């Protein structure tokens, strides 16, 4: 099995996948946290992925929270991936003034539809989305949005719950930044706002689930200090989800 020799705990992580190869949640947590970064002479962070069998096809998936990536192959024996961080000050300047609010009116909910649809792709119809959110309001669901320059850039659906296992906690149903606005800090600011809401409401934890294929989201949550604490199981009951 191929193993990366270094990891980037703060901005960068790469995953190597072969046919039939997958990481468990605990392995993902460990690989996101354990390895230290290395600096190249050019100032870029570097991870080296050694190929145990160069003759076999391999796929290197590299994701970056903020910055740019260069992938280099050396003599068919290893893959070198370099990552350079974006200047965070310039990223903040690009984002402009921001406002975070809870969508309460049909119009505010409707404005969140296109961003939410990037995550919840089955919501084709904006009016059906508004009706679903309004229905979920009755059960405590809240829809927050981050707005900059009169445009919704990121949205989060959440609720306050209690359980024997976690006590009182804030559960994040949905969290997504508009694709064109990623790596500008919008998602991070909305996440930090959710943490503050949880603290103000006396919650002991903030919890969420992330799809097993959403590697960028996994890295983001680990960087934000979250732990992969459980596996989530479900069974389809068999109704049409097209909305």
Give the whole-angstrom CA distance, residue 26 versus residue 229. Answer: 8
pLDDT exceeds 80 at position 147? yes
pLDDT exceeds 60 at position 12? no
Q: 133 and 206 share a domain?
A: yes
Residue 234 inside a domain? The answer is no
Q: What 3-state class would DSSP assign to 154? A: strand
pLDDT tens sequence across 159-191: 999 999 999 999 999 999 999 999 999 999 999
Q: 150 and 212 share a domain?
A: yes
- Residue 97 pLDDT grade (very low, low, confident, very high; cuts 50, 70, 90): confident
Residue 237 inside a domain? The answer is no
Residue 47 inside a domain? The answer is yes
The predicted structure's pLDDT at residue 25:
54
CB atoms within 10 A of CB 242: 8
Residue 4 inside a domain? The answer is no
The predicted structure's pLDDT at residue 66:
52
Mean pLDDT, rounded, for 134-155: 97
The predicted structure's pLDDT at residue 223:
95
Structural domain count, the chain: 2
Give the whole-angstrom CA distance, residue 148 versus residue 152. Answer: 7
pLDDT tens sequence across 23-80: 555 555 555 554 334 344 445 555 666 666 666 666 665 555 555 555 555 555 566 6
Residue 26 inside a domain? The answer is yes
pLDDT tens sequence across 115-135: 999 999 999 999 999 999 999
The predicted structure's pLDDT at residue 28:
55
Give the whole-angstrom CA distance, residue 161 versus residue 171. Answer: 7
Residue 191 inside a domain? The answer is yes
- Residue 195 pLDDT grade (very low, low, confident, very high; cuts 50, 70, 90): very high
* Token pair belonging to 113: 């539809």
Mean pLDDT, rounded, for 186-205: 98
Residue 75 inside a domain? The answer is yes
Yes or no: say if 91 and 183 are a contact pair by the CB < 8 Å rule: yes
pLDDT exceeds 90 at position 92? no
pTM of the model: 0.65
Give me the CATH number covering residue 160.
Answer: 3.40.630.30
Higher-pLDDT residue of 136, 9: 136
Q: 172 and 99 share a domain?
A: yes
Q: 154 and 178 share a domain?
A: yes
Q: 199 and 117 share a domain?
A: yes
Q: 197 and 110 share a domain?
A: yes
- Residue 17 pLDDT grade (very low, low, confident, very high; cuts 50, 70, 90): very low
Nearest to 142, CA basis, from 177, 183, 179, 112: 112
Q: 58 and 163 share a domain?
A: no
* Token pair belonging to 130: 């508004």
Q: 170 and 107 share a domain?
A: yes
Domain with 212, as residue range(s), is 91-223
H/E element, 217: helix 215-223
Based on the number of CB atoms within 10 Å of its own CB, is 117 exposed (0-12), middle (13-18) or buried (19 or more)? middle
Parallel/antiparallel/unpaired status of strands 205-208 and 167-177: parallel
> What's 240's DSSP letter?
-
Query: Beta strands of the chain (E only): which ranges?
Result: 12-17, 45-50, 59-64, 67-74, 78-85, 98-102, 142-148, 151-163, 167-177, 205-208
Residue 5 inside a domain? The answer is no
């Amino acid at each position: 099995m191929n193993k990366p020799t270094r990891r980037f705990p703060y901005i960068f992580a790469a995953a190597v996948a072969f046919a039939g190869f997958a990481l468990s949640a605990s392995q993902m947590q460990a690989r996101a946290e354990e390895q230290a970064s290395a600096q190249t002479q050019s100032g870029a962070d570097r991870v080296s992925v050694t190929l145990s069998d160069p003759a076999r096809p391999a796929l290197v998936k590299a994701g970056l929270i903020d910055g740019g990536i260069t992938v280099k192959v050396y003599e068919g024996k290893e893959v070198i991936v370099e990552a350079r961080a974006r200047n965070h000050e310039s990223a903040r300047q690009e984002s402009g003034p921001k406002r975070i609010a809870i969508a309460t009116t049909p119009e505010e909910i409707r404005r969140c539809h296109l961003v939410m649809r990037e995550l919840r792709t089955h919501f084709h119809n904006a009016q059906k989305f508004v009706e679903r959110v309004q229905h979920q309001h009755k059960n405590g669901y809240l829809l927050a949005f981050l707005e900059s320059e009169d445009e919704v850039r990121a949205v989060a659906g959440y609720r306050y719950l209690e359980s024997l296992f976690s006590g009182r906690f804030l559960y994040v149903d949905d969290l997504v930044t508009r694709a064109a606005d990623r790596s500008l800090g919008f998602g991070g600011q909305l996440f930090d706002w959710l943490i503050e809401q949880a603290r103000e409401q006396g919650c002991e934890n903030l919890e969420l689930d992330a799809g097993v294929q959403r590697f960028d989201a996994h890295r983001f949550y680990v960087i934000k200090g979250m732990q992969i604490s459980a596996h989530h199981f479900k069974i389809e009951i068999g109704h049409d989800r097209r909305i």
